[in-house]
Amino acid sequence: MPDPIAVNSMFGRIARRYDVANRLLSGGLDVWWRHRLVAAVRRSSPRDVLDLATGSGDVAFALSHGLTAGARITGMDFCQPMLDEAEIKKGAGGNRRFANITFRQGDGLALPLADESVDAITISFGLRNLADRARGLKEMRRVLRPGGRLFVLEFSQPTAWFRPLYFFYLKNILPRFAGMVTGDRAAYDYLNNTITEFPDREALALEIRTAGFTRVEASGMTFGTVALHEAAK
């Protein structure tokens, strides 16, 4: 499992160039993935949403745009430099535009929230960075209200025919290109390893069920390289 100190340091180093790298390395597909996530969250009509591992806030901002005006969104991350970038973006958008978003620091393994305090939790490309996924999933279940929904947007294992091309890209192209964009190739060597070693849809669905969630569903996107898991408390 990832070392939380090393992960925090790594994201702190790449925070200022993180958004640019995401757009370039995904070919802009990250926007579509977030759109699918927000559409799923909107169907559950939540009042209080926790966007865990919010990073620079892209999912929190997309939720603010896509949910009803009364929805309250908390963007939480344990890396302060990433939250600093989120606050800069929030300020650039105007305080009234994103008045329903609050950013705060917090550890996904010990969430600073009361039991049963949110209606929905989103975590996008952050679950694989938790030092203990089982503990993190149980924490998410703890803070969800009965009937609340969990939405996990995460890398997955691609379909068989696409696998050789995908893994060649991850190993040989992504770290080199990301190093040029961010100046930190080592960070993307790490991210490459976390992607290739991450469970496939079925295995992750089992982990979510083991944490106590029910009605676990998963849908693949982009040749299976990304999956959206939905589950209920």
Residue 170 within any structural domain of the chain: no
Is 11 or 119 the better-scoring residue by pLDDT? 119
Residue 212 within any structural domain of the chain: yes
Residue 183 within any structural domain of the chain: no
Mean pLDDT of 26-47: 94
Mean pLDDT of 21-49: 92
| CA angle (152, 186, 171) in 5-degree steps | 70
Residue 176 within any structural domain of the chain: no
pLDDT tens digits for range 179-213? 777 777 776 777 778 888 899 999 999 999 999 99
Residue 204 within any structural domain of the chain: yes
- Work out the pLDDT band at 171, boundaries 50, 70, 90: confident
* 8 Å CB contact between 228 and 37: yes
- What's the pLDDT at 8? 76
Counting the structural domains of the chain, the total is 1
- Work out the pLDDT band at 88, boundaries 50, 70, 90: very high
Q: Is the pTM of this model over 0.85?
A: yes
- What's the pLDDT at 25? 77
- What's the pLDDT at 139? 98
Residue 191 within any structural domain of the chain: no
CATH code assigned at 149: 3.40.50.150
What percentage of the chain exceeds 90 in pLDDT?
71
Mean pLDDT of 78-103: 87
Whole domain around residue 136: which residue ranges?
A: 4-159+199-232
- Work out the pLDDT band at 10, boundaries 50, 70, 90: confident
- Work out the pLDDT band at 24, boundaries 50, 70, 90: confident
Residue 211 within any structural domain of the chain: yes
- Work out the pLDDT band at 154, boundaries 50, 70, 90: very high
Tokens of 65: 């745009």
Answer yes or no: is pLDDT of 132 > 90.
yes
Residue 220 within any structural domain of the chain: yes
Report DSSP letters for the chain, one per residue: ---HHHHHHHHHHHGGGHHHHHHHHHTTHHHHHHHHHHHHHHHT--SEEEEET-TTSHHHHHHHHHS-TT-EEEEEES-HHHHHHHHHHHHHH-TTTTTTEEEEE-BTTB-SS-TT-EEEEEEES-GGG-S-HHHHHHHHHHHEEEEEEEEEEEE-PPPTTTHHHHHHIIIIIHHHHHHHHHS-HHHHHHHHHHHHTS--HHHHHHHHHHTT-EEEEEEEETTTTEEEEEEE-
